[in-house]
Amino acid sequence: MSRNLWRVEVDRHTCIGSGLCVGSAPDDFHLGLGRQSQPRLEVVEASDAILEAAENCPVEAILLADAADGAVLFPPE
């Protein structure tokens, strides 16, 4: 059985450190130096919490891509 894996990236030039991602998915994000978001892991199993974190980011700094083929899942173009 294959798993749906996502690659998670945070654009540090865009992130404003609101912390909404940490509130939505505390197991998957933390605020690092300069209060900027960082994913805890680069590749994760797809989850509603991670998608919610990306959707709630006020500046769309979180990128979700399919780990297998690199297709961007969020943000929409």
Q: Which of helix, strand or coil describes residue 35?
A: helix
Q: What CATH number does residue 53 fall under?
A: 3.30.70.20
* Residue 34 · residue 59 · CB < 8 Å: no
pLDDT of residue 33: 84
Q: Please give the average pLDDT of every successive group of 10 residues along the chain, which has 77 residues.
A: 84 96 97 93 97 97 97 92
Q: Per the domain annotation, does 50 fall within a domain?
A: yes
Task: Tell me if 21 is assigned to some domain.
Answer: yes
Which structural domain, as residue segments, surrounds residue 53?
5-66
Q: Which residue type does 39 have?
A: P
Total domains, the chain: 1
Decide: 43 and 71 in contact? Cβ < 8 Å.
no
Q: Is residue 28 part of a domain?
A: yes
Tokens matching residue 60? 């769309």
In-domain check, residue 29: yes
Supply the DSSP symbol for 31: E
Q: Give the whole-angstrom CA distance, residue 55 versus residue 36.
A: 17
